Chains A and B, each alone.
Chain A
Amino acid sequence: MDYEIVARPSYSMLRVDLTPGDKLVTESKAMAWMDTNVRAQTSTRGGVLSGLKRKLLTGESFFQNTYEAEGGPGSITLAPGSAGDVVAMPLDGELYLEKGAFLASTEGVKCDAKFGGLRGFFNEGLFVLRCSGSGTLFFNAYGEIQEVDVDGQYTVDNGYAVAWEPHLDYRLTKARKIRSFLFSDQILLRFSGRGKVWVQSRSAAPLANWIHQFRPVKVQSDD
């Protein structure tokens, strides 16, 4: 299976050339175009419970699609929802992914929802995806991806940490001196130890707040 990340780095896409027998697991909705001999299979992958956990806890899709080429080689191109870059990562072990960052993987990689830790943050939806196994993992970022080598301590706003290595300790904290009765807290991830963090240069939550003014308004019913 060959792949190439095209249209880098601003609006990156992942093109995968499949030979019969190769299987590519993707986030649903990610398929942009493909040869006519590429077929999709849709499943909850890992069972209904696993799919449900993924959906409810991380906002990732309940269903994932598996693509295969039939009767000869075929190519498929995947696009993330947001503008930004795509990273291909050979995996042999574990990697934590921020919810929404999963784009695709080879068959040997499994992704599970995991609670991000720290009581009191449950409502914030601070769940992460734990990806494990061996194969290739493809994740996407909103914006450019910056690799930060942590040696000691480093702070990243919760919405900007896309991926990090499992041997890094991480702790969720609130920014100090913020008057929480006036606006929502800035939640920070404090990493410690030695390892790599992938940081994206934009975050979905501020965009979601900004777009609020442009959304249609729900028609009020009388009751």
Chain B
Amino acid sequence: MRIDILSKGAFGSALVHLDPGDEFVSESGAMYRASSNVDIDVTTKSRGKGGILGGLKRLIAAENFFFSTYRVTDGAAGEVGLAPTLQGEVRSIELDGSAAWYCSGGSYLGSDSTLEVETKFQGLKGLFTGESIFFLRVGGSGTLLVNAFGAVHPIDVDGELTVDTGHVVAFEDRLEYSISKAGGSWLRSFLGGEGVVMNFRGRGRIFVQSHNPNEFGKALGQNLPPREG
């Protein structure tokens, strides 16, 4: 299996080349092009854990309820293209088993079927401001694909870093983190328009995205006709 990240300018996508026997998993609906010998199997779970309950948790995590699994059917090589919903970069992360990664809600694009994907529900703190914070935990060995809204900036934290929750793409689980408000008090945060931030501590790698999907959603959403209930 080989993965090409296709990108001209602002829009990344991934073209996964499958050999017979390879399996690749994505959030369902991410497939946008494929050779005709690729079979798409939609399941409620990724691998190992989950089942229906796992699926429900994924639904809560604003991830699709279903994962799609791709494989070739006729003994020849094939290809499947995966695209995120929002514009932005796609990056691959190689996991060697030494550290798991946390992926924020909408940042998971796909993974080797050898990787284990589980949801981790992050408590109610984040819900206070209407922003929810959910993570998928991805562990094992293999390739993980993440997407960002905008550009990706990898940062090697050594000490402390404060990141607005809307800008977190993924981070290594060796980093400690806590969730708090942006500065001083809730009132200040609210008036200053800043919601919840994550304070990272320790040594490890984090991917941040240049733009915040929530801010974009609010700006565009205001310009759209109202929805029913």
Do they bind each other?
yes
Whether B155 sits at the interface, judged by CB under 8 Å, is no
Contact with B along A168-210 (1 / 0, CB 8 A): 0000000111110011001000100000000101110011011
A154 close to chain B: CB less than 8 A? yes
The stretch of B31-39, B116-124, B162-170, B178-186 that contacts the partner chain: B31-39
Q: List, in ascending order, chain A residues with CB within 8 A of B129's CB.
A: none
Are B42 and A177 within 8 A (Cβ)? yes
Which residues of A sit under 8 angstroms from B86, Cβ to Cβ? Answer: 202, 207, 210
Please report the C-alpha to C-alpha distance between residue A92 and residue B31 in the assembled complex, in whole angstroms.
33
Contact (A218, B229) CB under 8 Å given A9-B9, A211-B220: yes
| CB nearest to B9 among chain A residues | A10
| Contact, CB under 8 Å: B217 / A213 | yes
Question: Which B residue sits closest to A141, measured CB to CB?
Answer: B11
Cα distance A46–B11 when bound, in Å? Answer: 36
Residue A160 CB within 8 A of the other chain: yes
| CA A202 to CA B13, docked complex, whole Å | 9
CB interface residues, B 172-212, toward A, < 8 Å: none
Q: With the chains together, A152 CA to B102 CA distance in Å?
A: 41
Is B226 a contact partner of A218 (Cβ separation < 8 A)? Answer: yes
**Which residues of chain B in 132-177 are interfacial with respect to chain A, using CB atoms and an 8 Å cutoff?**
none
Tell me the count of chain A residues lying within 8 A, CB to CB, of chain B: 46
Given the known interface contacts A186-B29, A186-B31, the answer about A179 and B221 at a Cβ–Cβ threshold of 8 Å is: no
Fill in one digit per residue for B1-26: 1 if any A CB lies within 8 Å of its CB, else 0: 00000111111110000000000000
Query: What separation, in Å, do the CA atoms of A146 and B14 have in the docked complex?
Result: 12
Q: Counting CB contacts under 8 A, is A87 at the interface?
A: no
Task: Give B127 Cβ to nearest chain A Cβ, in Å.
Answer: 14
- The answer to whether B40 touches A177, judged by C-beta atoms less than 8 angstroms apart, is yes
Q: Which 6 A-B residue pairs are closest in the complex by CB-CB distance?
A: A214-B221, A10-B10, A153-B36, A10-B9, A214-B217, A143-B11
Q: Which residues of B contact A (CB under 8 A)?
A: 6-13, 28-29, 31-36, 38-42, 65-66, 81, 83-87, 106, 217-218, 220-222, 224-229
**Pairs across A and B, CB under 8 Å, 16 listed:** A10-B9, A144-B9, A146-B6, A157-B32, A177-B41, A178-B40, A183-B28, A186-B40, A199-B32, A201-B11, A202-B83, A202-B85, A203-B83, A206-B85, A207-B85, A211-B220
Q: A153-B35, A210-B86 are in contact. List 7 more A-B contacts (CB 8 A).
A: A83-B11, A146-B33, A154-B34, A160-B83, A215-B224, A216-B221, A217-B228
